[in-house]
Structure 1
Amino acid sequence: MPLLVIDRPTRKISPDPIIACKVAPEIQTAFDQLALNKYKCTRAELMRACIVDCLKRHEAAKQK
């Protein structure tokens, strides 16, 4: 019996896509402060929420 049992990470068949963009340092700082101080979340969580909100608004505007 081995001393350590190591569980190897399993790879997803299709990895989640990544959305990335370059912004000015001041925009990044402002976004970081918004995430940390206003919403108390990570940058990734805030970015996901912004994208979901944008898609919902777009869908609502299309239906009008």
Structure 2
Amino acid sequence: MELNRAKCLSLMNEGRAAQQAGAESTTCPYDQRGDTEQQVSHRYWTRGWVDAREGARGTAGQ
């Protein structure tokens, strides 16, 4: 797996889009306990999902 900034941002954007579409964090398409590529993909997808959730919470309270 070639991990670079573009790949990380792509995975985070995928997670953000899923959260904004109403998906639960457990719907991540990457395996947290899989091979290295799956684990890293899961980590960045989830980070994007959490960022979107926290952003939504921040704007909801304003």
Asked if these proteins are the same fold (TM beyond 0.5), I'd say no
TM-score (norm 2): 0.41
Report the structure, 1 or 2, having the larger helix content. Answer: 2
TM-score relative to the length of structure 1 = 0.40
Higher relative contact order (CA 8 A, sep 6+): 2
